C-alpha cells in the first residue's frame, strides 16, 4: 500500500487556509477589506457597533454578528480596523474573556506605537498573539486589494497572517510588534508633506500666470512624478474633496508622528508645519479628503483659489 507523506509546510498551509476570521469595524476601509478577505475564500464574521453595517455584508458571504463576545469566540484570527487606539483598547478589553489561547489579533488601525505595544502586552498576558498592521492606499486601495500593509510582529505570526493580509494588498513585515505603526507614521509624514507641497505648487502656478493643469501634466514623468501628484493633484484641480483618507485621520496620524518623534528625542520641523496645516482646517472640514490641504494653502493666501470648479465636500 502506498503511503503519502505531507510536509509540515503543506499541512500548515492547509490549516492557515481554513482560518476563521472575525473582522471588527465595518467603516469606509473595513467594509472593502472584509469583503476582500471573504472573496479570497476565508470564512468571515463581521462585527460593528452599528449592526446594520455588518448586516449589509451578508450578501457577500460574510456572517454578521451583533454580539462582540460571540464574534470573537468563533475566530482563529481577529482583524480590527477602528478609528483610534482608545477604541481598539476598549474592544480588546471587552473581547478578552471570549478569546482562546493562541488566538491571533491583527490590528490594522492607525494608532500610536506605544498603544500597539500595550495591546501586545495585554494579549500576550492572556496567552494570545498580536500584530499591528496599519495600511496605506485609502478606500480605493482597499476596494482594489492593493493596500500597502506594514506589519509588526513575530515571524511565525506573520507567516500565519500573510495569506489573509495578501487578500487585501501587499504585506511587509517591518519588525517586531509596534514597528508597523512606526512605518505607517513614516508613510503619513511623507503623504501629508507631499500633499501640502503639491497644493502650494498648483496655487503658485496659477498665481504666477501659468495653467496649473498644464504644469501638472508637464512635470509628470520627471522627478516630481508620484501617485499623489497623479491622484490628489487631479483631485485638487477638480476641487473634489469627497472622502478617501480624511483630514481628521491625517491630522491624528501627524500628531502621532510628533509624539513618536518626541519619544525618540527628535525634532521634525517640517512634520510640525504640516501638522499645523491640517489643524487649521480640521474644524471646518474634518471628513474632507486629505487633498483638502489645498484649502489650507488658499486660507493662507486670501483671494487665491485654484480653478473655477465648485467645491465637492462631504
Nearest to 220 by CA among 230, 208, 206, 212: 230
| Residue 184 bears catalytic tag | yes
DSSP letter string, 261-284? HHHTT---HHHHHHHHHHHHHHTT
Count of beta carbons in the 10 Å neighbourhood of residue 276: 12
In angstroms, what CA-CA distances link 267 with 2, 257, 259? 67, 11, 11
Which entry of 53, 63, 166, 184 is annotated as an active-site residue?
184
HSE of 180, CA atoms in CB hemisphere, 13 A:
29
Residue 44, beta-bridge partner list: 21
Using a 10 angstrom Cβ sphere, with 0-12 exposed, 13-18 middle and 19 or more buried, the burial of residue 211 is exposed
Is the distance from CB of 133 to CB of 149 less than 8 angstroms?
Answer: yes
DSSP 240: B
Nearest to 152 by CA among 133, 125, 167: 133
Q: Which residues are catalytic?
A: 184
Amino acid at each position: 500500500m502506498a503511503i503519502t507523506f505531507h510536509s509540515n509546510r503543506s499541512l500548515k498551509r492547509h490549516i492557515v487556509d481554513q482560518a476563521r476570521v472575525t473582522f471588527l469595524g465595518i467603516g469606509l476601509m473595513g467594509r472593502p477589506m472584509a469583503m476582500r478577505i471573504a472573496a479570497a475564500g476565508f470564512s468571515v464574521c463581521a462585527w460593528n457597533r452599528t449592526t446594520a453595517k455588518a448586516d449589509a455584508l451578508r450578501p457577500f458571504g460574510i456572517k454578521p454578528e451583533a454580539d462582540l463576545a460571540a464574534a470573537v469566540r468563533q475566530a482563529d484570527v481577529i482583524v480590527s480596523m477602528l478609528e483610534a487606539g482608545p477604541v481598539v483598547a476598549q474592544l480588546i478589553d471587552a473581547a478578552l474573556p471570549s478569546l482562546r489561547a493562541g488566538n491571533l489579533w491583527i490590528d490594522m488601525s492607525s494608532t500610536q506605537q506605544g498603544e500597539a505595544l500595550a495591546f501586545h502586552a495585554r494579549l500576550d498576558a492572556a496567552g494570545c498573539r498580536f500584530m499591528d498592521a496599519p495600511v496605506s492606499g485609502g478606500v480605493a486601495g482597499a476596494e482594489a486589494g492593493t493596500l500597502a500593509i506594514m506589519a509588526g510582529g513575530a515571524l511565525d505570526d506573520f507567516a500565519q497572517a500573510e495569506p489573509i493580509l495578501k487578500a487585501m494588498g501587499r504585506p511587509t513585515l517591518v519588525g517586531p510588534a509596534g514597528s508597523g505603526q512606526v512605518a505607517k507614521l513614516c508613510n503619513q509624514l511623507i503623504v501629508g508633506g507631499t500633499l501640502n507641497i503639491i497644493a502650494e505648487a498648483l496655487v503658485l502656478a496659477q498665481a504666477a500666470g501659468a495653467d496649473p493643469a498644464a504644469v501638472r501634466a508637464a512635470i509628470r514623468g520627471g522627478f516630481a512624478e508620484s501617485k499623489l501628484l497623479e491622484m490628489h493633484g487631479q483631485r485638487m484641480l477638480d476641487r473634489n474633496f469627497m472622502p478617501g483618507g480624511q483630514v481628521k485621520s491625517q491630522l491624528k496620524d501627524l500628531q502621532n508622528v510628533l509624539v513618536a518623534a518626541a519619544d525618540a528625542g527628535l525634532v521634525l520641523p517640517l512634520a510640525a508645519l504640516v501638522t499645523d496645516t491640517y489643524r487649521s482646517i480640521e474644524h471646518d472640514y474634518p471628513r474632507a479628503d486629505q487633498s483638502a490641504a489645498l484649502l489650507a494653502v488658499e486660507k493662507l493666501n486670501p483671494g487665491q483659489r485654484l480653478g473655477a470648479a465648485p467645491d465637492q465636500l462631504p
